[in-house]
Amino acid sequence: MSDVIISPSILSADFANLERDIKCVEDAGADWLHVDVMDGHFVPNITIGVPVVASIKKVATIPLDVHLMISEPEKYIEPFVKAGADILTFHYEAVEKENVFALIDKIKSYGVKAGMSIKPKTDVKEILNYLSQLDMLLVMTVEPGFGGQKFMPDCAEKIKTIRAMNKDIIVQVDGGINAETGKICRDYGANSLVAGSYIYRSPDIKEAVASLKRQ
C-alpha cells in the first residue's frame, strides 16, 4: 500500500455500472473504496444502504471504507459490518458526546477500523480527546451531503493539529480533493485522501489516482 491511502468515492461512479467502475479504480491502484451512506436526515441527500454495501462487497477486492453520514449511527454498526465494511466512520455531530467512546468501542468490537468524521464548522479542539481511541479521523473539507463541492482550505488546517496530537492515526480528508488540494492536505499530515469527481471524471483514471499519491 502507498504511504497515502487513496479511497475513491463511488458517489461519483455510474451506479448502473457499479461493478465496472469499482474494478476500474482497483485496476488504477486505489487502496480502499469509499462508500458514502446518506440518510436524508443528517444530510439532505439519500444514497445507499446495507443491501448495496453487501453487493459491493461481493465484487470489491480492496477494503470498504464506509462513511456513515446518518443520524443514530449506533443502530447501524452491526448491519454495515455484516454487509462488509472494513472501516466504519461515523459523524461526531450525530452522536451524544457522552456516547462517543462507547460507539468507538462498539465498532472496534466487531474487528473493523473505527473512524470518526467532523464537519467543516466543528472545532477540532472538541475531538482531540478521542484521537487515542480512533483508528481514523476524517476531516470534511466540504459540507457533507453532495459530491463535486469546492475545497475549503481553512478546514484543511485542522489536519496539522490532529497530526501534532497523534502521529499514528490515519488522517483522511474528503471534499474537493484533486492533485493540488491533495498535496496541501498531505503536506499538513494527511495520509488518506477521498476523491470522487476528480477520479471518476478524469480521462485517465490511473493517472488521477497516481497524481494523488505523488509526494
What are the residue numbers of the active site?
Answer: 36, 174
SS3 63: coil
Asked if 67 and 92 touch (Cβ cutoff 8 Å), the reply is no
Asked if 33 and 56 touch (Cβ cutoff 8 Å), the reply is yes
Q: End-to-end distance of the chain based on CA atoms, in angstroms?
A: 15
Residue 89: partners with Cβ closer than 8 Å, 6 or more residues away: 65, 66, 67, 68, 114, 115, 116, 117, 136, 138, 172
